[in-house]
């Protein structure tokens, strides 16, 4: 059991290579909490912008008639990974966790696994 | 074809020019509410009563917000399956007098802290969007009042204002006509509807010619602003439009007025719309017109 702040802190502390994390409502584009980031990387802007990514994928799946749910979305940059994990639990419908990883330090499989665990902690 | 203006979002200034009570200066500065600014600066505790709802402040930070136009925290918790109505009532009965309902819910294991916090912050920003919206009535502040929920996660006034303004701009960017925010809604043309995501589908299923955005939010147990966003997207896609305006009074039978007609103040006859022709002249009822408007808006934005 965790609140937003501790969940984000845990994400940054326990996931190797994580440089920023945010919990985002993808209908309004509001970041319910952010941690990390920098002057050159505004997590609030990233949060609002990535709602369009999630929405576009959901819409495409609707057009294709796919019934599955999105678990996570990975965006690979030349020097970073951006990981989006949709939250499905109680009270969390319509939210996603957004994680920025330094690709030189991060272990992607491990990061996905830990993010899943943090989501579970947040919503139990 | 009707030419439609696309007005920018209304500025959040109060219309009245006369201060309604001593010490309240109307529209004194920039921002959403000058009074709220002042209260934040003096780290006030109490409740701010505005036309569309209330904001509870503690030490200059916003702890709770309520508006008649948005579902409350209990509704959001129930929708997510986090808490049933019975447990909510019990918590209020046992901890309401101490103003510790939030704490009680978590400590007694009824609600996970994360779920309470997320639903609370969602309800707070949702209600605050409407509370801080344009208002024609003066605001009042009652010092010392505190909400029975107790503190969950206070929000700085500046963050609340910034988010409310961002939300206003977001709605305008999606679809600049605000009519779907408040009017009864109808589906434009079922035959030509493209598939929509399931969250919008749920909103669409509630559209019946009578319900407004606020009704739909309550029926679905979702934040009202989210419904406004979904409806503007549906309006932009030409799927939803406002219902034809209906005259407020039933038309009188001819001859029934008699001598009473002489007493009635002279007024122009209400514009009569039969639903079909009104639908045809509604600009967004026609998907092609909606598309042209989007094209024009996009070109103007270049």
CB contact under 8 A, A4 and B112: no
| Residue A64 sits at the chain B interface (C-beta within 8 Å) | no
pLDDT band, residue B258 (cuts 50/70/90): very low
pLDDT band, residue B81 (cuts 50/70/90): confident
pLDDT band, residue B23 (cuts 50/70/90): very low
Select the more confidently predicted residue: A3 or B257.
Answer: A3
CB contact under 8 A, A91 and B80: yes
Select the more confidently predicted residue: B299 or B16.
Answer: B299
pLDDT band, residue B253 (cuts 50/70/90): very low
Whether the pLDDT of residue A91 is over 70: the answer is no
Chain A residues close to B217, C-beta within 8 Å: none
- Reported for B281-284, long-range contacts at CB under 8 A and 24+ positions apart, including other chains, are B281/B2, B282/B241, B282/B242, B282/B244, B283/B1, B283/B2, B283/B4, B284/B177, B284/B188, B284/B235, B284/B238, B284/B241
**Mean pLDDT computed over B201-205:** 91
Residue among B207, B228, B124, B212 at smallest CA distance from A27: B228
**DSSP tag of B179:** G
Whether the pLDDT of residue A72 is over 90: the answer is yes
Out of B118, B163, B195, name the one closest to residue A4 (CB). B118
Chain B residues close to A62, C-beta within 8 Å: 195-198
Chain B residues close to A34, C-beta within 8 Å: none
| Residue B196 sits at the chain A interface (C-beta within 8 Å) | yes
pLDDT band, residue B24 (cuts 50/70/90): very low
What's the pLDDT score for residue B176? 93
Q: What is the DSSP string of A45-95?
A: HHHHHHHHHHHHHHHHHHHHT------EEEEE-SSEEEEEEEE-STT-TTE
Q: Compute the nearest-CA separation of B297 from chain A (Å).
A: 19
Select the more confidently predicted residue: A2 or B238.
Answer: B238
Three-state DSSP class for residue B207? coil
**Mean pLDDT computed over B80-106:** 87
Q: Hey, how many other C-beta atoms are within 10 angstroms of the C-beta on B45? A: 17
Whether the pLDDT of residue A114 is over 60: the answer is yes
Report the residue of B77, B115, B118 to disrupt the A interface, i.e. the one with the largest count of A CBs within 10 Å.
B118
| Residue A97 sits at the chain B interface (C-beta within 8 Å) | no
Q: What is the DSSP string of B242-295?
A: EPPP--SSPPPPTTSSTTHHHHSPP-PPPPP--HHHHHHHSGGGSHHHHHHHHH
Q: How far apart are CA B223 and CA A30, in angstroms?
A: 13
| Residue A42 sits at the chain B interface (C-beta within 8 Å) | no
Q: Compute the nearest-CA separation of A82 from chain B (Å).
A: 23
ipTM of this model? 0.84
Q: Which residue of B has its CA nearest to A93?
A: B80
Residue among A9, A12, A15, A27 at smallest CA distance from A93: A27
Chain A residues close to B116, C-beta within 8 Å: 91
Token pair for A6: 């501790």
pLDDT one-digit tens code per residue, A25-70: 988 999 988 999 888 889 988 988 999 999 899 888 888 888 888 9
- Domains belonging to chain A, first-starting first, are 4-123 (3.30.450.30)
Return the bridge partners of B48, or none: B55, B141
With tokens 């919990």, the residue in question is A23
pLDDT band, residue B5 (cuts 50/70/90): low
Least confident of B26-40, B148-162, B261-275: B261-275
Distances (CA, A) of B51 to B14, B135, B140, B257: 11, 6, 10, 39
pLDDT one-digit tens code per residue, B204-228: 999 999 999 999 999 999 999 999 9
Chain A residues close to B229, C-beta within 8 Å: 27-28
What's the pLDDT score for residue B244? 73
| Residue B225 sits at the chain A interface (C-beta within 8 Å) | yes
**Average pLDDT over chain B, rounded to whole?**
79
Q: How far apart are CA B268 and CA B266, in angstroms?
A: 7
What's the pLDDT score for residue B70? 94
Least confident of B109-113, B114-118, B149-153, B190-194: B190-194
Chain B residues close to A90, C-beta within 8 Å: 80-82, 112, 115
Q: Compute the nearest-CA separation of A79 from chain B (Å).
A: 30
Least confident of B148-157, B185-194, B220-229: B185-194
What's the pLDDT score for residue B10? 60
Residue B127 sits at φ, ψ, to 5 deg, of: -65, -40
What's the pLDDT score for residue A2? 65
What's the pLDDT score for residue B275? 47
Q: How far apart are CA B214 and CA A100, in angstroms?
A: 37
Whether the pLDDT of residue B9 is over 90: the answer is no
Q: At what angle do helices B287-301 and B224-236 cross, to 10 degrees?
A: 100
Whether the pLDDT of residue B268 is over 80: the answer is no
Q: Which residue of A has its CA nearest to B126?
A: A28
With tokens 């009822």, the residue in question is B285
């Amino acid at each position: 059991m965790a609140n937003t702040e501790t969940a984000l802190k845990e994400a940054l502390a326990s996931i190797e290579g994580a440089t920023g994390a945010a919990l985002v409502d993808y209908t309004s584009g509001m970041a319910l909490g952010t941690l990390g980031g920098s002057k050159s990387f505004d997590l609030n802007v990233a949060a609002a912008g990535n709602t369009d990514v999630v929405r576009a994928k959901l819409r495409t799946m609707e057009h294709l008639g796919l019934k599955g749910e999105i678990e996570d979305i990975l965006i690979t940059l030349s020097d970073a990974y951006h990981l989006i994990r949709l939250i499905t639990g109680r009270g969390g419908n319509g939210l996603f966790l957004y994680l920025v990883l330094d690709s030189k330090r991060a272990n992607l499989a491990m990061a996905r696994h830990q993010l899943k665990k943090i989501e579970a902690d947040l919503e139990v | 074809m009707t030419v439609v203006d696309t007005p920018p979002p209304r500025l959040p200034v109060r219309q009245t020019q006369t201060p309604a009570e001593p010490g309240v200066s109307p529209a004194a500065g920039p921002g959403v509410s000058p009074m709220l600014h002042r209260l934040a600066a003096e780290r006030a505790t109490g409740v701010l009563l505005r036309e569309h709802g209330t904001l509870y402040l503690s030490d200059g930070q916003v702890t709770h917000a309520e508006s008649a136009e948005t579902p409350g925290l209990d509704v959001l918790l129930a929708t997510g399956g986090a808490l049933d109505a019975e447990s909510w009532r019990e918590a209020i009965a046992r901890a309401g007098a101490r103003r510790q309902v939030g704490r009680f819910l978590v400590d007694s294991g009824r609600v996970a802290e994360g779920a309470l916090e997320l639903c609370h912050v969602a309800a707070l920003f949702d209600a605050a969007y409407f509370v801080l919206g344009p208002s024609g009535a003066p605001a009042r502040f009652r010092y010392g009042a505190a909400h029975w929920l107790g503190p969950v996660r206070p929000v700085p006034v500046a963050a609340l204002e910034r988010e409310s303004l961002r939300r206003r701009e977001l709605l305008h960017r999606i679809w600049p006509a605000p009519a779907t925010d408040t009017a009864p809604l109808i589906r434009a043309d079922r035959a030509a509807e493209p598939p929509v995501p399931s969250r919008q589908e749920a909103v669409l299923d509630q559209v019946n010619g009578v319900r407004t955005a606020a009704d739909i939010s309550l029926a679905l147990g979702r934040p009202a602003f989210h419904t406004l966003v979904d409806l503007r997207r549906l309006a932009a896609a030409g799927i939803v439009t406002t219902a034809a305006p209906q005259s407020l009074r039933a038309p009188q039978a001819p001859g029934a007025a008699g001598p009473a007609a002489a007493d009635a103040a002279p007024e122009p006859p209400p514009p009569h719309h039969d639903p079909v022709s009104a639908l045809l002249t509604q600009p967004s009822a026609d998907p092609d017109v909606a598309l042209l408007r989007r094209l024009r808006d996009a070109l103007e934005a270049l």
